[in-house]
Copies of this chain bind each other. A is one copy, B any other.
Amino acid sequence: MSDVPMFRKVLIANRGEIALRMARACRELGIRTVAVYSTEDRDSAVVSYADEAVHIGPGPAKRSYLSIPAIIEAARLTGADAIHPGYGFLSENPDFAEVCQQEGIVFIGPPAEVIAALGDKCAARRLMAEAGLPILPGSHGPVRSAEEALETARRIGYPVIVKAAAGGGGRGMRVVYQDGELVSTVNNLYGEAQTLFGDARLYVERYVASTRHIEVQILCDSYGNGVHLGVRDCSVQRRHQKLLEESPAPRLSQSVIDRMGAASVAGARAIGYVGAGTFEFLVDGTDDFFFMEANCRIQVEHPVTEMVTGIDLGQEQLRIAAGGRLGIEQADVVNRGAAIECRINVEDPDRGFAPAPGRIEIFEVPSGPFVRVDTHGYPGYRMPAIYDPLLAKIITWAPDRDQAIARMQRALTEFRATGPGIRTTAGFLLGVLDSAEFRSGTHDTGLVGRLLDEPAAAGGTPVAGGTAVAGGTAVAGGTTVAGGGSTPATAAIQRAPAPLGS
């Protein structure tokens, strides 16, 4: 990065580990920080870590982390010159990005128009197809009737998936296996999409059963420069919830990675993308890949990319938003070794991953060589029940995947979070690491379902969406955002495992 004026003070419009992570990035760049918090989060780590903290509302996110007026006022009152939205909450809300601009506050993310365009799955599909990205066969835009859907399905072949243009994260989607089901499904889904998202538009795509979820991290500055930082494999999911991510994707050839990366940068340039972003692809076991959607925020799993590239994505977001030029070209990006992230959620794997929050009495995190922990937890921290269950991200790096796995096993055994009612996913993740399928890198998004012997999430189930990183129920029903609340829609239904035996 060349020398540019840097922000003086940044407000972090988020909570949990990502708020702390961004406060660290700011501190390393000499930027003062403003934390905002709900009453529920008054004892949170970032409140004491930040230089200033503003109480913006009560626990429910709608009145705090999703309240545009509260956050804008907090920024004005503290004199913050930029807002980092984190992930979830307002991070992909084009209205919020626009309000920031109107108020003369820099929104750290892509322009509002870009967020709006990419938030509309139908538009994103069309735009990226125009930019040359491979997409799954399907309708050329919304299908205006059940008959048009039928034509499309017959043209591309069954099974197909019918999706709401404004949907995401597993909501507003159905898999259809034959003509007979299609008309009624489409007609029902029109109503559902209108009700859920206020937008009845639907489109039809080929459905692929066994798939991997691979995403490309990109960085673009506001001068038209862009690079990709390689891929992440996020196929270890339970009902569209990512549990473990890694970089690079195992058994994916460098030439495929290069092609996906180049396609992503081309797509980002075509749409005028600025900042850090993610292009999601469906990979079906061959060397083919298909664009699914683009995410306009920092991702929960960004650390694995940081570990293999050495590039601090949080800092890069700040530099780019402050008007900096990308200091690197594609040839400068060298991916070294392998990194894995395990998400430690306060959930009980023995009870269907039911939320298991509470007061954490003992909290011990791993450390030592090549282990990184991003967490807002501390001994005595009361994990709120009304937000996301993510307590900690444990990241390990090693020269190769096998060693990164061994290191993660070591790290997970060092992790401890206990307290009345507290359960975590740490033990379950050890089981994933132990599974032959994962170790061989041959797994797809059906792995967790098979390990749990759970019926896979079928097309029609409205499952809580995507990474569901921030807010959980609080996020649903947020402010007027393309995509229905600000729920990040990182997992499209095609990546849901097919019913066992199908």
Q: Which A residues form the contact surface with B (CB < 8 A)?
A: 20-21, 24-25, 27-30, 303, 306, 310-312, 314, 334, 336-337, 364-365, 367-375, 378-379, 397-399, 403, 406-407, 409-410, 413
User: How long is the Cα–Cα vector from A398 to B25 in the complex, in angstroms?
Assistant: 12
Give A225 Cβ to nearest chain B Cβ, in Å.
18
Is A312's CB under 8 angstroms from B369's CB?
A: yes
Is B399's CB under 8 angstroms from A369's CB?
A: no
Give A434 Cβ to nearest chain B Cβ, in Å.
13
Give A356 Cβ to nearest chain B Cβ, in Å.
23
Identify which of B21, B30, B310, B409 contacts A337 (C-beta below 8 A).
B310
Known: A25-B369, A27-B413; 15 extra A-B contacts, CB below 8 A, are A20-B368, A21-B369, A24-B410, A28-B409, A28-B410, A30-B406, A303-B369, A310-B336, A310-B370, A310-B397, A310-B399, A336-B336, A367-B367, A369-B372, A370-B372
User: How long is the Cα–Cα vector from A21 to B334 in the complex, in angstroms?
Assistant: 28
Is A312's CB under 8 angstroms from B368's CB?
A: no
Is B370's CB under 8 angstroms from A27's CB?
A: no
User: How long is the Cα–Cα vector from A306 to B306 in the complex, in angstroms?
Assistant: 17
Identify which of B334, B337, B374, B399 contacts A367 (C-beta below 8 A).
B374
Give A333 Cβ to nearest chain B Cβ, in Å.
12
Which partner residue on chain B sits nearest A26 by CB separation? Answer: B410
Contacts of A312 in B (CB 8 A): 369-370, 398
Contacts of A369 in B (CB 8 A): 21, 24-25, 303, 306, 312, 314, 372, 374
Residue in A28, A365, A370 with the greatest tally of chain B CB atoms within 10 Å: A28
Contacts of A398 in B (CB 8 A): 312
Which partner residue on chain B sits nearest A362 by CB separation? Answer: B379
